[in-house]
Amino acid sequence: MQAKSDRARWAGVNATVTRAFVQKTAKEFGDLHTEAKSIWSILDDAHIELVGLQRQVRNLVANAREEGFSVVDHKDGTVRVSQVMNTVKLPTSGEKAKERAQWYADRITDLVGHATEVDASVVRALAASHGNDPYNAGHKAYTSLDEDLLPQALKLIALGGDITAQQRKELTWLWASLTPEGRAQLWATHCDALILAGVLSPTVYTGTNDDGAGRYNVSWPNPHDFLILEEAKAMVVGGYLRGYPDAARNMSHYLSGSGSPVQLDVDRMLNDDAALRQVAAGSIDSAQQEQWRRQALAAFAKSGGKPVAIPVQTAPKGYTHSDGNWYLAVGRANTNTTGTVTVTPGQDGKPHVSLDYQVNVWDRYNWDPGKHAPVGGMNISDADLARLHKTGLAREYSMRGSGSVQHVELTGGPPGGHPHDTTGRIPR
């Protein structure tokens, strides 16, 4: 319409008025078209994201019920997961069931919070596109929801050390909701802040896989228990003297009775323990690297050759420490690998694919009946040490940690790596 108006030979009294009217009308149609495209892009991105989150929540609820838990939602977006007492598949009543239920509750609540953040992003984007003016459309054009998510993520990153725990969680939600192209933009310039916020934290279950000694502080201690307590204290001293510092430290924390979590030094574990190194290397072997490489290249092709970044994660795997110090400090543990695969256009015209990853380890410090603990030249049965938890003279606790971020080129060769180019070795 505008083109025809410009080509027309206007004359007479209405020439100026009509030409201006056509120009204004054409602009309004253009603005309405721009706003309509923006609305479609925003809602399409949001629909894809929300459907994916809904699927995850439904799967978690189904799995929880399959394991014998009930899931009850609350109006504030949180959920309560508890044991169902009349089910055939009754879970154990110990620490495993407790941690498993809490993990389901936290994970589902986190996904609901993530969905709420997506909804808030949609509201902001639609308001910016519409402009709150019924007579003037097309205030801001959107090609994807990234155009709202990225600025929000940058605002949180700009807080630096003042960022709160809740804001870190919001940053991880924004990271997860970004398109591969949006993630690549953020990762290229702010990977250190993203890592510290926890975008590489495992989302799989990282709780205990056994019940340990059972309920805490439910029995009266007897003279034998106090004797074991004193022997265990002597084991701590002996552990330090014999070069088992982590075994001694973890025993000391058990005897303190606080039950607070302990941070594992995964970098040292990887350096000292061949068993963990072998499992960690196997988790990103050439087959796994090739799978992630193909996945990232598919996203790269879909983006039209723009840089992309995709989050990756391996399934948990159990292993037993081979190093004496770590065997007595942790024993058997679980590990997985989390990371980000990036693809950028290479100078030779070929895509450049790389992986930034970290190794995660977790376990619960407890004692298994039928075994013995030879620490510091002394040998006490695990049953005796476990009873200290039941009598309140000691307390079991969780252990978790992540290694420094490593970098490897996904060329199809053997796994390897060096400290991350941008962030270096980040202590955990």
Given a cut of 50, is residue 394 above it in pLDDT? yes
All residues at 6 or more sequence positions from 245 whose CB lies less than 8 Å from its CB, including other chains: 239, 325
320: three-class secondary structure by DSSP:
strand
pLDDT digits (tens, 9 = 90+) for 361-386: 999 999 876 666 555 556 688 899 99
pLDDT at 368: 73
Give the mean model confidence (pLDDT) for residues 168-181: 93
pLDDT at 242: 92
Q: How far apart are CA 247 and CA 163, in angstroms?
A: 35
pLDDT digits (tens, 9 = 90+) for 102-135: 899 999 999 999 898 888 888 888 877 665 566 5
Q: How far apart are CA 372 and CA 367, in angstroms?
A: 9
All residues at 6 or more sequence positions from 61 whose CB lies less than 8 Å from its CB, including other chains: 71, 108
Answer left, alpha or beta for residue 413, where phi above 0 means left and psi between -120 and 50 means alpha: beta
Lowest mean pLDDT among 49-58, 91-100, 229-238, 277-286: 91-100
Radius of gyration of the chain (CA): 28
To 10 degrees, the CA torsion angle through 412, 418, 421, 424?
150
- For residues 79 and 105, the answer to whether their CB atoms sit within 8 Å is yes
pTM (predicted TM-score): 0.82
Report residue 415's pLDDT band, with 50, 70 and 90 as the boundaries.
Answer: very low
pLDDT at 163: 92
Give the mean model confidence (pLDDT) for residues 24-42: 61
> In this structure, what DSSP letter does residue 294 have?
H
Q: Which of 425, 408, 195 is nearest to 281 (CA)?
A: 408
β-bridge partners, 73:
79
β-bridge partners, 258:
none
Mean pLDDT of the chain, nearest integer: 84
**Residue burial 280-319, b: 16+ Cβ < 10 Å; e: rest:** bbebbeeebbeebbeebbebbeeeeebbbbbbbbbebeeb
Q: Is 367 exposed, middle or buried (0-12, 13-18, 19+ CB in 10 A)?
A: buried
